[in-house]
Chains A and B, each alone.
Chain A
Amino acid sequence: DQQVKQNSPSLSVQEGRISILNCDYTNSMFDYFLWYKKYPAEGPTFLISISSIKDKNEDGRFTVFLNKSAKHLSLHIVPSQPGDSAVYFCAASEAGNTPLVFGKGTRLSVIA
């Protein structure tokens, strides 16, 4: 029973365009959401997070949107760059230091 789902295993985007990565969750107790980026042979690197009291958080080219009623969040990268090519994981947790539950990841390829 997957509590965090990333339904697109891969995504290709032209350099300079917007990349939109989607994530759905089922656990209504989740109140903290994160996106991680992973290159081959490296550990995941934190990108951006959002708490359930917000619906948007922005950091440079990265923006995360949260729709609690739909149990959906998305990561927007604009403009996309070739260096953004990696696997992106969505993660969620309940309040406090509970385990982060990860999706299966979406492989983003930004084509020059």
Chain B
Amino acid sequence: GAGVSQSPSNKVTEKGKDVELRCDPISGHTALYWYRQRLGQGLEFLIYFQGNSAPDKSGLPSDRFSAERTGESVSTLTIQRTQQEDSAVYLCASRRTNTEAFFGQGTRLTVV
């Protein structure tokens, strides 16, 4: 498809387990972002990739969170040793320079 694709759409995991979330950006979009939205809250920036530059990790809440991106394609967000406060919708977006960002549908993560 032509849009940003995220998988899985829903994930329920036990506290302490690791999870991996995937994002396929729009082809040709050099910038890729991860955000999360906790219940009743706004969009919280996590990490940003721009081409081959070093990622901006300033929004990652702890060292349990990490993300990778291969070139200008797929990105994975990994959360190790999940905690209940990690429960949220994780959103991925991509954009070209100085244009709007397009979001995926999100992955709803529930840590039980």
Contacts and interface: CB of A to CB of B under 8 A. Distances in A.
A82 B100 CA distance: 25
B100 A49 contact: yes
A95 B12 CA distance: 38
Interface in A80-99: 89, 91, 95-99
B41 A102 contact: no
Q: On chain A, which size bracket covers the interface? A: 20 to 34
A97 B103 contact: no
Given A100-B33, A100-B101, A44 B43 contact: yes
Interface of A: 6, 32, 34, 36, 41-46, 49, 51, 89, 91, 95-105
10 contacts: A6-B42, A43-B93, A43-B103, A43-B105, A43-B106, A46-B102, A51-B98, A89-B42, A103-B42, A104-B42
